[in-house]
Chain A
């Protein structure tokens, strides 16, 4: 099924392989950085939409 891709790119493998390599490096770097993010920061960030100032005003009746 994938034969035609490998045949088509003969002589131009450099584009495909370097592009995939580039993405792989990028993906791994982002993943590593993400693993190192602290849990309390993640909790803080994910709660941002739920705390928008207006809700606070509503709660205290302003």
Chain B
């Protein structure tokens, strides 16, 4: 048999590499801007398109799906071809994948500042973009499996298993978390409501971390680290155990994002138990990576690529130890909703994803351009400024998290809240936020230096767009299948491997999700909880559009420090009409679940017009455009109909009188404002938002009053 000559497609790898760097710089710049907004409200720039609520999702989407996403495809397209000794299945599909993904990112860049959002964290993009993501993901899958099918290497290296698990799990997560009922081209409501919506979202959210930020990067680590160190992985057996244990356990851990909420206790306990178990496979992977460098530590001193890998792996180890610790209820009680979580996330994102990406870029670009890196000194400078950046980012955020978390829980000797005004805790941590933005700026500076270094590297070399290679074609197999080991057979069967991975991730998903959806005792109903009025519903959609959920939670945990501060703790039955749920994950400002009736309409009007009028020192942006913008009521009928379809008990024909009721309620609020000498027309957006804010928690308060009587 003659060896076959073929060519690896390096151009697609280069293109994804360029996209990684460009989107990385854009995403991190937006990140720096939102960091500055948290201590300098003028950085919101006084217009609705650049407020924190709208562009914070732009930052998260840009760094997760644009920076990390493109880096994944760069790494996968490079390593997959070489591990399978075959060119990518189809150049056309590669191009469709590349340009399709960039268009999706562009759609995010346009829609998120416009306030077009579903409000599900890391899944904010509206339904037409969700469909586009699904199609492009399928293109990626077909291209990957096509390559696997035409491979010249019979056995699939463990990196490819991680890629397959990534593909199949992200597909499942994205589809299940995108069940939306469209009411217009850019607006939809989730099929799930309240607790169920929260569970689906955090099953998705946590596993987006697992299967987008972790498994593809582990796959890349298993390929690139041995290449960089020029030695095989420390233990191949450990990598297999790592793979199966990780994908089995990870999928269960989502509920740790919902501890102390009204999610059923058994689901919370399952989430905690599996989160703690997750330390083992995560550290198995980290140790396997670090021990690959045994006997080669002298290389780490000289080789900047290995330096990035070592710090990246260490950051992975720290983040995957901290994650399970944060899922312990006692720790979570302090850390959740604070900057501690932001610090935790960024140790993973900046250290693990960022540094691994930089290592791969520094290693890969000179190779596909057949040249040396332009400047090793600049790369070393990038390493140090990047590491410093992470420290300057993480340490102040931990400090801020502990400080605020503890302040919010502190009581005086008399048993009163020591800091009853939430703003006091916000102002205390502003110096830490300033330091954090310095850390972010250092990190971003490093990335810009890297971009310059890589451009100069490319300029001094020439891209080998089609890299020649040679390998024997696959011969037909003459082995007794029964004699062969089970796992060795699986390694040769990509489709079976995918199905088996799918089954493994579905076990946890089914056990956690199905009972919450089917057993009614998991979500006890509350008689006094009624559907939103049409005006409140419209106000709620403005709340979603403005991204209020990015800073304000809507769930009171059963702690005395919270019930004293906010009111009665939240129950599952309160949220049955909430499509989507708006519990939030961070309290930059106070919780709003019991906001209704706390202040007058005039207070809310003035506060939205300029928060510093009512709360001196507040860091909330002004929302003065709500006073001038007219509320769009042309979609009220569609909204009521959609909600009814989703199970909200609006009476038949209610949609016909909905706008009449909306007007009446709006006029009552406008009249109320007039009493406080505030002249505003009843058809303005601010009226709807005030109606919604004044509704929050009212049903529960009403039920308590009724019980007391």
B241 within 8 A of A: yes
Is A19 within 8 A of B252, CB to CB?
yes
B266 within 8 A of A: yes
B679 within 8 A of A: no
- When C-beta atoms are compared, the residue in chain A nearest to B468 turns out to be A57
Is A47 within 8 A of B232, CB to CB?
yes
Is A34 within 8 A of B240, CB to CB?
yes
Docked CA distance A44–B153 (Å): 11
Is A8 within 8 A of B269, CB to CB?
yes
- When C-beta atoms are compared, the residue in chain B nearest to A53 turns out to be B469
Q: Which residues of A contact B248 (CB under 8 A)?
A: 23, 26-27
Is A15 within 8 A of B236, CB to CB?
no
Docked CA distance A7–B233 (Å): 44
Main secondary structure of the interface of B (DSSP, over half): helix
B549 within 8 A of A: no
Docked CA distance A19–B252 (Å): 10
Docked CA distance A62–B487 (Å): 36
B488 within 8 A of A: yes
Is A53 within 8 A of B82, CB to CB?
yes
- When C-beta atoms are compared, the residue in chain B nearest to A56 turns out to be B470
Docked CA distance A34–B595 (Å): 57
Docked CA distance A16–B330 (Å): 20
B357 to chain A, nearest CB (A): 18
Residue in B241, B469, B515 whose CB lies within 8 Å of A56: B469
Q: Which residues of A contact B241 (CB under 8 A)?
A: 30-31, 34
Main secondary structure of the interface of A (DSSP, over half): helix
Given contacts A19-B511, A30-B244, A37-B487, contact A49 B227 (CB under 8 A): yes
Number of interface residues of A (CB under 8 A): 38
B198 within 8 A of A: no
Q: Which residues of A contact B162 (CB under 8 A)?
A: none
Q: Which residues of B contact A37 (CB under 8 A)?
A: 237, 485, 487-488
- When C-beta atoms are compared, the residue in chain B nearest to A44 turns out to be B155
B76 within 8 A of A: no
Docked CA distance A45–B239 (Å): 11
Is B230 within 8 A of A49, CB to CB?
no
Docked CA distance A45–B235 (Å): 10
B277 to chain A, nearest CB (A): 7
Is A34 within 8 A of B269, CB to CB?
no
Q: Which residues of B contact A22 (CB under 8 A)?
A: 507
Docked CA distance A50–B157 (Å): 11
Q: Which residues of A contact B153 (CB under 8 A)?
A: 48
A15 to chain B, nearest CB (A): 5
Docked CA distance A29–B471 (Å): 35
B318 within 8 A of A: no
Is B155 within 8 A of A9, CB to CB?
no
- When C-beta atoms are compared, the residue in chain B nearest to A23 turns out to be B248
Residue in A4, A15, A44 whose CB lies within 8 Å of B270: A15
- When C-beta atoms are compared, the residue in chain B nearest to A45 turns out to be B236
Is A50 within 8 A of B485, CB to CB?
no
> Taking each of B244, B268, B515, which has the highest tally of chain A beta carbons within 10 Å of its own beta carbon?
B244
List CB contacts (< 8 Å) of B539-563 with chain A: none
Residue in A44, A46, A57 whose CB lies within 8 Å of B233: A46
25 contacts between A and B (CB under 8 A): A5-B273, A9-B266, A15-B515, A16-B273, A19-B252, A19-B270, A23-B249, A23-B274, A27-B244, A30-B240, A30-B244, A34-B237, A38-B485, A41-B485, A42-B237, A45-B155, A45-B236, A47-B232, A49-B83, A49-B157, A49-B159, A49-B223, A53-B470, A54-B8, A56-B469
| Interface contacts beyond A15-B511, A23-B248, A57-B468: sample of 10 additional A-B pairs, CB < 8 Å, sorted by A | A5-B272, A8-B265, A16-B266, A22-B507, A23-B274, A42-B236, A48-B157, A50-B227, A53-B152, A54-B82
The 10 closest A-B pairs by CB, nearest first: A12-B266, A53-B469, A52-B82, A46-B232, A46-B236, A8-B265, A48-B157, A54-B469, A53-B471, A49-B226
